[in-house]
Amino acid sequence: MAPSVETVTVKESPLPLLGDDPLSPAQWATLLAFADAVVPSIAPSATANPATQLAIGANDYATRLANVQQLAGPDVAPELSAQYLAETPSACPAFRENIQRLMAQYIPADVRKQLLAIFGVLNTRPGALVMTGYSTPFAEQPVNIRIAILQNWMTARTPMFRQLNKMLTSLIKQNWAKSSAALGRVLGFPRVPVHGSVGKGFNFEFIQMPPGVGPETIETDIVIVGSGCGAGVCAKNFAEAGHRVIVVEKSYYWPPEHLPMKETDGFNHLFMNGGFVISDDTSVSVAAGQTFGGGGFVNWSASLQTQGYVRQEWADQGLPFFTSAEFQKSLDAVCQRMGVATDPIKHNPSNNHLLEGARKLGWSHKAVPQNSGGAEHYCGYCSMGCASCEKQGPHVSFLPDAARAGAEFIEGLDIRKILFEKKKGKMVAVGVCGTWASRDEHGGVAGASKTRRNVIIRAKRVVIAGGTMQSPLLLLRSGLKNPNIGRHLHLHPVSFLGAVHKERTDPWEGGILTSVVNEFENLDGKGHGAKLEAVTMLPSVWLTVAPWVGGLEYKDLVPRMKHMAGYFALARDRDTGRVYPDPLDGRCRLSYTLSRFDKKSLLEGVVGLAKLQYVAGASEIFTTIPGCPPFRRTETESEEEDPEGTNNERFQAWLKDVRRTGLPQPETMFMSAHQMGTCRMGASPRTSVVDADGKVWGTEGLYVADASVFPSASGVNPMVTVMGIADWLSRNISARMAREKEVAKL
């Protein structure tokens, strides 16, 4: 049965007003000169201003305009296609606002200082000569020269130039896609899913602090820091066992009428650091949910249980629970609560192509179970929040269960420290403290908080579930010295591949990740390899990773997105990095560089994706590897007229080029949506942060229950594994507390 079509009106979710501008007028001129080179205005030579527009011949312009119009379709006026070709980022008011917010709030101070210093150097003749080969300051160059400079940086011998090219082009592409006036209409990208609907969200009641001078003190049995997948399961189990529970979250709850958010608003409201978390070497960009509901609020519904070889690996490290029937019972329990199933799935074109390609090649593949409560959930916008309430994230399932059982909640409370007392020579966690910020006078978060208070929550047990990026920082701020805290970071790094198909795909519609190819998941015989999956196709995500080889080529590529399918190879990374607090402001920083071993897994995955898309009939296949040109099929190589399949000589030659190019650094972009291991579980404090019960070594009453406790990378989307661990840990903690209560009565 076809999904029903419903008109949805979404409430706005305004952002806080911008503060001081960190860029000088000269620095803005340089940055915008870069922006208008990455996404240039294109005009016929006869009318073009060569300083600001990329001039092309009249016939060439007419052909490109006709191509845009054909892709846009008959419902789009020709004037809009011309507007798209003429548009530049600097002409989009929201682009400058986005960049200013990014520079002021989200880029670490040392990185911002370096970037602005480079802009300053480029504003001088000697500096421009050294960095560009021209003595004219960069901002004064005509656009064609600026494009040529960026292209030269792509292949420069000096790694800094390749790194700078990647960083600038990525930031510009993403923020132009968020702010363009023409892009969404040319693509036919609707504000909300075509098949969207608004469900009824749970009416959470949050504790409000009265105005006052000193700290507000609250008492409870168990305080849970964080509100994501681990926190939700813990809260439900504790509350249903009769304990007093308070769940605290530094961010805020967004009900379904605000969802899905616009891409600019969503990244700012729903993700850590505005969605801009990047490794120190700029090789990996990390997306981590930060809202009431955590990563489960913005993930893509994939609900894969921990695989047997991973469970065995963890058991062999002194954690036999992972191969026990009890762990399986916990996994099944959380999946049952979320209605995890494959039967309701309706695959969109991207996932259909993945499955069909794997079938034709005889590769291992399957549908990915979805936590959609038995609903079809044909929605591709979940990264910006799911309005239908079909996706059973923590805020739809476990946290409402906890509330119905008596749990309480606080939003806007940034926990800074865990409180300890010495009892019988042991460090015993007795609570947490932090700073609370209320909503503004309109009930939103765009204005100033009506009330700010320091808050102390005293508790018998403290459960940290702030996620892999934040939980270790809280332990460090609280004075814990275990050298494993923050280390052993796994990221499931991904590399992308795109395919263009003759038919229109509208890739932003439909379930995002409903299929997986497992053919390459165990390349070393020890469980390390790559899984092949479909990616979210929101424009500001996909067009950020889409290859940039020149401004003209990028403008040509973008309108074809409505015929694309996007994929990634995801590595179960063997090698690790670390997170640590920024020395200036304490924000989360990460040090992570892909090893040669893990890059090999990714490269095999990318080659596998290319083969899948070839047999699925793609007319063009492109990687996101710099220096790797796309493969374009000829008419005689159509799927029906190509009996050789992947043995096609031209295709094989292209695959050899892909392998030869590899995944060079620092210019290759990798991304991560899964973070694990920074408070890892183990049999000894010499190698881990928490014991088999989730208790932090060297403490009493302090536990961690999120993906940071994974002993190594899970190899699958971590949500169900987190929930299974949290289910088991929380039941054990609750049982111990009940026994203590009985003993106290004696």
As a whole number of angstroms, the distance between CA 345 and CA 351 comes to 11
Q: Between helices 58-72 and 78-86, what is the axis angle to 10°?
A: 120
Stretch 249-277: mean pLDDT: 98
- For residue range 19-62, what is the model confidence (pLDDT) as tens digits? 999 999 999 999 999 999 999 999 999 999 999 999 999 999 99
DSSP single-letter state for residue 14: P
Average the pLDDT over each of 191-205, 232-246, 276-290, 498-512 and give the range with the smallest value: 191-205
pLDDT the model gives residue 6: 52
Stretch 128-144: mean pLDDT: 98
Q: Residue 630, preceding bond cis, omega within 30 degrees?
A: no
Q: Residue 666, preceding bond cis, omega within 30 degrees?
A: yes
Closest C-alpha among 484, 553, 548 to residue 698: 484
Query: Is 244 a domain residue?
Result: yes
- For residue range 671-716, what is the model confidence (pLDDT) as tens digits? 999 999 999 999 999 999 999 999 999 999 999 999 999 999 999 9
Q: Find residue 224's DSSP bridge partners.
A: 247, 463
**Dihedral sign, Cα of residue 181, residue 183, residue 185, residue 186:** positive
Exposure class string for 425-435: b at 16+ Cβ within 10 A, else e: eebbbbbbbbe
pLDDT the model gives residue 721: 99
Query: Is 512 a domain residue?
Result: no
Query: Is 45 a domain residue?
Result: no
pLDDT higher than 70, residue 2? no
Q: Are 513 and 532 in contact (CB under 8 A)?
A: no
pLDDT higher than 60, residue 5? no
Query: Is 231 a domain residue?
Result: yes
pLDDT higher than 50, residue 559? yes
**Dihedral sign, Cα of residue 594, residue 596, residue 601, residue 602:** positive
pLDDT the model gives residue 643: 83
Domain CATH code at residue 359: 3.50.50.60
Q: CB burial class (10 A; 0-12, 13-18, 19+) of residue 411?
A: buried
pLDDT the model gives residue 21: 98
In which residue are the tokens 């499931």 written?
A: 492
Provide the token pair at 11.
């409430």
- For residue range 84-106, what is the model confidence (pLDDT) as tens digits? 999 999 999 999 999 999 999 99
Question: What positions carry a catalytic annotation?
Answer: 674
Average the pLDDT over each of 125-134, 191-200, 237-246 and give the range with the smallest value: 191-200
Q: Are 339 and 371 in contact (CB under 8 A)?
A: yes
Provide the token pair at 330.
């916990």
pLDDT the model gives residue 745: 80
Closest C-alpha among 704, 700, 693 to residue 731: 693
Query: Is 708 a domain residue?
Result: no
Query: Is 172 a domain residue?
Result: no
Helices within 589-693 (DSSP H only)? 596-615, 649-661
By residue range, what is the domain housing residue 230?
216-482+718-745
pLDDT the model gives residue 194: 83
pLDDT higher than 70, residue 193? yes
Stretch 134-163: mean pLDDT: 98
- For residue range 660-670, what is the model confidence (pLDDT) as tens digits? 999 999 999 99
Stretch 311-329: mean pLDDT: 98
As a whole number of angstroms, the distance between CA 538 and CA 710 comes to 30
Query: Is 625 a domain residue?
Result: no
As a whole number of angstroms, the distance between CA 249 and CA 448 comes to 18
pLDDT the model gives residue 639: 62
Q: Find residue 418's DSSP bridge partners.
A: 432
Residue 364 Ramachandran class (φ > 0 left, ψ -120 to 50 alpha, else beta): beta
pLDDT higher than 90, residue 635? no
As a whole number of angstroms, the distance between CA 406 and CA 225 comes to 17
Q: Please, which contacts does 419-423 make with residues 24 or more away whose CB atoms are closer than 8 Å? A: 419/456, 419/458, 420/478, 420/479, 420/699, 423/700
Side chain identity, residue 600: K
Q: How confident is the model at residue 16 (pLDDT cuts 50, 70, 90)?
A: very high
Q: How confident is the model at residue 746 (pLDDT cuts 50, 70, 90)?
A: confident
As a whole number of angstroms, the distance between CA 226 and CA 78 comes to 50
DSSP single-letter state for residue 180: -
| Number of domains forming the structure of the chain | 1
Stretch 103-132: mean pLDDT: 98
pLDDT the model gives residue 3: 43
Contacts of 118 (CB under 8 A, 6+ apart): 131, 164
- Write down the mean pLDDT value for the chain: 97
Query: Is 394 a domain residue?
Result: yes
pLDDT the model gives residue 507: 98
pLDDT higher than 50, residue 4? no
Stretch 552-570: mean pLDDT: 98
pLDDT higher than 70, residue 634? yes
Side chain identity, residue 724: G
Q: Are 490 and 256 in contact (CB under 8 A)?
A: no
